[in-house]
Amino acid sequence: MNTDRHKTRKRYLEPDACDEPLPRSTLFELKKTVAARASITHQASNATASPAATSRGAPAPEDGSDEGAGPAGHSDTAPHCNLPSLLEDDEWPGDDLNAENDSETAVGDHNEQQSSTATDAFNCSPFQLEFVKPVGNGTSLSVGDVLVLAMDLAIKHGLTWEAIEDLLKFSNVLLGKHVLPESKYLFRKFCGASPDEMEFYFYCPVCERLLAKSGGSLSERNKVSGTCCGQQHNGRRLMANGNFFVSLPLKKQLANLLEDSTVSCVKYPVGEVFDDRTEDGMLDDMRTAATLNRTISGVKGPSPLIKVAGFDIMWSFRPDYMHSVLLGVSRQLTDMWFSDTGTDYYIGTALAEVDSRLLGQRPHASFNRTPRSLKLRKFWKASEWESWLLYYCLPCLEGILPVQFFSHFALLVSAVYRLLKSHVSMEDIDKSTKDITEFVIMMQYHYGEPEMTSNVHTLLHMPKSVLLHGPLWAISCYEFENNMGNLLKLVSSSNGVPFQILSRILMMNNFQKLLGRASEEVKELCLNREPRHVGTKLLGNPQPPSQDLVNYVEENVAGVELVQEYDRLCVEGCVVHSEQYKPGLKRDSTAVKLKISEMSATSREHTNPC
């Protein structure tokens, strides 16, 4: 059964609908468009803009011809422009006004005017299916493959849109059937080269002041108008004279760049042992890079920081624990375990069991967040990855992750835990260096060279960084993240957000100066506030203790006159509660570590108020 039978809207735009009749309303609109263009043919042909005219001050072709009008005998590219004509928008004023070349473009123009936004080709289902639709005739290529080859030819040889149309039609003739789209409109949608994704900025030709900004569609550009330097300007004339510049969406460009498999693919496999960089060697590389104007050993050129007194250009930068370990290696390995099907370390089939163990964890109240499902790990914050690395992963993965991979990951957990201690000894650094080195070496053995990322390599520098700068928690991006939250607290309304933040920062900066001018009573009130989370504080109301507890205290503690029992206790900001107190099911703060013994469950808390 043909599933396309019920799809009647704009069937003429589909790649396989070359012979589809146009609706009456569309034909009527096309005839009006052609008639309107025919009435301004002479004026528009004198205002045609070539690709070279997009640069400031570049002259337009004298004959007003389209630089890609091949069939009419025009040159494919302007003599003073070496850009491929594929980059040209065929909807410049005066383009394709000849009747024999107008039909397909008119369809494209009409639909662009009717559409509010340009749709990315790969978000359209017809173009997603092109890569699974076979060409046929004994070849294994898909329609998408052939279109990509056509794109390659167009880019390499600077083909005009008309030449691309002829190429697609010629390919259909060779194949003996219409499987490729034969209009530049559909081809451009497939390529993601729609002009609607562009932004045009028009400026005054006299003073070069910005006049207007518009989208890339023909209708938007033609609506531009403005007055400057005593002259009235319109979009059509500014386009023809080249008084504009164009920008493309940066977000999409970055996304395409990062999706390229050849980008960000620097690997650091285990091999030859290299000595650490030295400051003199770094300065030599900077000089060489500046002289040759290219990167030398990863150094792109001189840094202004080398002029800062006492600043070591080598070791004054430390690896960021939050991004390289938590959001880097820890997340990388976890994603591999649950995503890489067919590998020895794949445990995705046991995700439910691991999730059950993880969600069964009841952390102490000092933990910022309670565990969330591994299915939501792409939304985890750095603190959640820290809890997973240091506390949850080993008990959750034991018996599920194969032993060799489990023991390998335990090396990282052990090393990071030592480097996060309040006091890191030389023994801790030596043991961490050994564990991290073994972890990095075995990373390549267990998971392969493609997984030897920059974050994995950075682990090797962390022990020395701790030796020079202190524990990993001392310098990290956590403070920047916290301060971003503090900035958000300075915003009280949706209007004038930058002004709100800056005004409140200035107010805080001036607080101490103004406080110095205040009365002693005010100073005492502001400066002598009782700090929070200092010392020990009993929470809640006391409960009458049992007689057994009273007898135990009197027998083991001398000088007790009164015994009271509390359910909660706050020690230096850390809340501990007894087993009788049940605040919820997601946390458990009944365990404490005493200096005189191991872990102890707090069944009751009592005090001697005297």
d(C-alpha 608, C-alpha 566), whole Å: 11
**Taking the mean position of all CA atoms in its chain, how far away is CA 141?**
33
Among 225, 257, 289, residue at a domain's last position? 257
Per-residue pLDDT for 123 more than 60? Answer: no
Which alpha helices (H) appear in 519-595, and where do they start and end? 520-527, 547-556
Q: Which of these ranges, 26-40, 345-359, 395-409, 507-521, has the smallest mean pLDDT?
A: 26-40
Q: Indicate the pairing of strand 568-571 with strand 574-577.
A: antiparallel
- Please indicate, yes or no, if residue 306 is contained in any of the structural domains: no
pLDDT value, residue 5: 44
- Please indicate, yes or no, if residue 128 is contained in any of the structural domains: yes
Residues 96/87, Cβ–Cβ less than 8 Å: no
Average per-residue pLDDT in the chain? 73
pLDDT value, residue 326: 93
Q: Are residues 179 and 52 in the same domain?
A: yes
Short-list 461, 475, 453, 407, CA closest to 432: 461
pLDDT value, residue 250: 76
Q: Are residues 107 and 167 in the same domain?
A: yes
Cα atoms in the 13 Å half-sphere on the side-chain side of 231: 13
pLDDT, average across residues 573-584: 75
Per-residue pLDDT for 286 more than 70? Answer: yes
d(C-alpha 599, C-alpha 594), whole Å: 7
Domain total in the chain: 5
Q: Are residues 222 and 342 in the same domain?
A: no
Q: Are residues 357 and 450 in the same domain?
A: yes
Residue 142's H or E segment, with its range, is strand 139-142
pLDDT value, residue 561: 74
Phi, psi of 39 (to 5 degrees): -75, -20
Residue-by-residue DSSP string for 455-480? HHHHGGGHHHHHHHH--TTTSSTHHH
Decide which of 267 and 62 is more confident: 267
Q: Which two tokens stand for residue 350?
A: 């046991």
> pLDDT grade, residue 398 (50/70/90)?
very high
Secondary structure letter of residue 326 according to DSSP: I
Decide which of 536 and 57 is more confident: 536
Residues 201/245, Cβ–Cβ less than 8 Å: yes
Phi, psi of 571 (to 5 degrees): -120, 110
Residues with Cβ within 8 Å of 418's Cβ and at least 6 positions away in sequence, in order, are 424, 428, 429, 431, 432
Burial 233-249 (b: 16+ CB within 10 A, else e): bbbbbbbbbbbbeeeee
Q: Are residues 547 and 404 in the same domain?
A: no
Q: Are residues 366 and 466 in the same domain?
A: yes
> pLDDT grade, residue 17 (50/70/90)?
low
Among 139, 161, 193, residue at a domain's last position? 193
Q: Indicate the pairing of strand 139-142 with strand 134-136.
A: antiparallel
Per-residue pLDDT for 109 more than 80? Answer: no
Residues 270/438, Cβ–Cβ less than 8 Å: no
Which alpha helices (H) appear in 400-510, and where do they start and end? 403-419, 426-447, 454-458, 462-469, 478-489, 497-509
Place of tokens 């020690």: 571
Q: Are residues 507 and 464 in the same domain?
A: no
Strands (E), 90-129: none
- Please indicate, yes or no, if residue 295 is contained in any of the structural domains: no
- Please indicate, yes or no, if residue 413 is contained in any of the structural domains: yes
Short-list 251, 231, 161, 238, CA closest to 200: 238
Residues linked to residue 353 through DSSP beta bridges, in sequence order: none
Per-residue pLDDT for 350 more than 90? Answer: yes
Q: Are residues 352 and 406 in the same domain?
A: yes
> Angle formed by the axes of helices 161-175 and 143-157, to 10°?
140
- Please indicate, yes or no, if residue 480 is contained in any of the structural domains: no
pLDDT, average across residues 317-331: 91
Residue/partner pairs of 316-320 with CB below 8 Å, 24 or more apart: 318/465, 318/468, 318/469, 318/475, 319/458, 319/459, 319/461, 319/462, 319/465, 320/476, 320/477
Q: Of the segments 251-260, 519-528, 538-547, which one has the largest average pLDDT value?
A: 538-547
Q: Which two tokens stand for residue 388?
A: 């997973």
Q: Which two tokens stand for residue 383?
A: 């603190």
- Please indicate, yes or no, if residue 420 is contained in any of the structural domains: yes
Decide which of 10 and 339 is more confident: 339
> pLDDT grade, residue 311 (50/70/90)?
confident
Report how far apart, in Å, the C-alpha atoms of 233 and of each of 206, 210, 223, 230, 496 are.
11, 12, 11, 10, 34
d(C-alpha 314, C-alpha 377), whole Å: 35
Q: Of the segments 331-335, 359-363, 458-462, which one has the largest average pLDDT value?
A: 331-335
Q: Are residues 61 and 177 in the same domain?
A: yes
Short-list 514, 518, 513, 509, CA closest to 490: 509
Among 193, 215, 233, residue at a domain's last position? 193
Per-residue pLDDT for 531 more than 70? Answer: no
| Whole-prediction pTM | 0.54
- Please indicate, yes or no, if residue 170 is contained in any of the structural domains: yes
Q: Are residues 230 and 139 in the same domain?
A: no
Q: Are residues 464 and 584 in the same domain?
A: no
- Please indicate, yes or no, if residue 401 is contained in any of the structural domains: yes
> pLDDT grade, residue 175 (50/70/90)?
confident
d(C-alpha 399, C-alpha 407), whole Å: 11
pLDDT, average across residues 385-389: 94
User: 223: buried, middle or exposed (CB in 10 Å: 19+, 13-18, 0-12)?
Assistant: middle
Decide which of 312 and 324 is more confident: 324
Per-residue pLDDT for 382 more than 80? Answer: yes
Q: Of the segments 51-65, 239-253, 474-488, 538-552, which one has the largest average pLDDT value?
A: 474-488
> What is the span of the domain harbouring residue 156?
11-114+119-193
Q: Are residues 171 and 241 in the same domain?
A: no
Q: Indicate the pairing of strand 139-142 with strand 210-215.
A: unpaired
d(C-alpha 341, C-alpha 348), whole Å: 8
Residues 602/578, Cβ–Cβ less than 8 Å: yes
